[in-house]
Amino acid sequence: MSNKRKNIEESLLPGLDNGGGYSPAKVIQPGADVEKLHKQPRGYLKTTAKLVGKATDEKTLFSLPEVIQDSGSNFLREVISRNTAILGNYLLQLWQQNGGGELVINNLSPIAEIMGNSNYEIKIYLLYLGGYVYPIIDKDKDGLTLTTEQLFKIKFRYSSKVADKYKAGNFTEIGSGLTKFIKDEPIDSIEITPSPLFIKALEGKGLGNVLVVNDKFIKLALSLTDIAYKIFTYSASNKPSQKIAEDNLVNHLGLEKQIKTQGRPRVRATILKGLQELQDKEHIKSYSYEEATGMYLFTYSDKYVRHQELKKGK
């Protein structure tokens, strides 16, 4: 098995970095406790900031229907659950630790343990990451663009024993036409590749990327409410100090419908609550809202996100 297809369990050991091409070079002094970093694509952070929410039409994990052969726009989704988005954050870390190329997972248990979910739940999250297309925010030479793409390309592989069992093709599939797995059968391996847009961003193209702290970034995300996670990923996709009009922030966080149904004061209170939650967990250093101008001001620390501008201030 090549280095590109190594068992992902090796990459999940605490603090282990396999030295992949996308990991930043670091000079380690003897005895120094150096935090390892990886890159998160700004496009993925902006996309999840806008799309994370609760879908009223989304089936529960245990009542997901059998596959219906959809086509065209039926694969489009404009909302994603927080845990599904965070699994995407974590897969981007593992993909880089694995050296890029194709990430092969032979055992879901270590990932499920980090995420605090069952193996079955992780498989469902993978279906939503790879089985649908989402509006993705990107950048080209003319400015920002919005396209619809799979967030990840995901393949479920089965052993020859399972293949022989279903030679006649009589099996129950779970998922969509883009990604699916066989119900109640053990998976031999899962092959995962991020969207080409995100791979280009990790190379510094398009919207580019931002350095974040391995594992610590994911653990904070898992501890947050939906609104705090949305603000967390949006803020991380930008410079450490931000001043933004309320209407613009509402748009970036995908809260336009909430403004209409709940009213501006309630949505503002929710945003401020999210900012306070992030300050309590030491991502946000300070924040304020100016009634007169309708502007939010907030600054984040380098505890979880290592933006290059934070280095200048040291």
CB 58 within 8 A of CB 81: yes
Question: Is this prediction's pTM over 0.85?
Answer: no
H or E segment at 163?
helix 160-165
Q: What architecture is the 225-314 domain classified under in CATH?
A: Orthogonal Bundle (1.10)
Show me where the domains of the chain are located.
Answer: 1-12+36-223, 225-314
CB 115 within 8 A of CB 94: no
DSSP letter assigned to residue 307: -
Q: Which residues, 6+ apart, have CB-to-CB distance to 260 below 8 Å?
A: none
Alpha-carbon distance of 309 to 314, in angstroms, equals: 9
Q: Tell me the CA distances in angstroms from 312 to 112, 306, 307, 309, one per residue in order.
A: 38, 11, 10, 5
Alpha-carbon distance of 132 to 128, in angstroms, equals: 6
State pLDDT tens for residues 237-296. 999 999 999 999 999 999 999 999 999 999 999 999 999 999 999 999 999 999 999 999
State pLDDT tens for residues 5-39. 444 433 332 332 333 333 343 333 444 456 899 99
Alpha-carbon distance of 199 to 40, in angstroms, equals: 10
Q: Which residue has the tokens 């990451």?
A: 129
For 180, phi then psi, to 5°, come to: -160, 160
State pLDDT tens for residues 79-98. 999 999 999 999 999 999 99
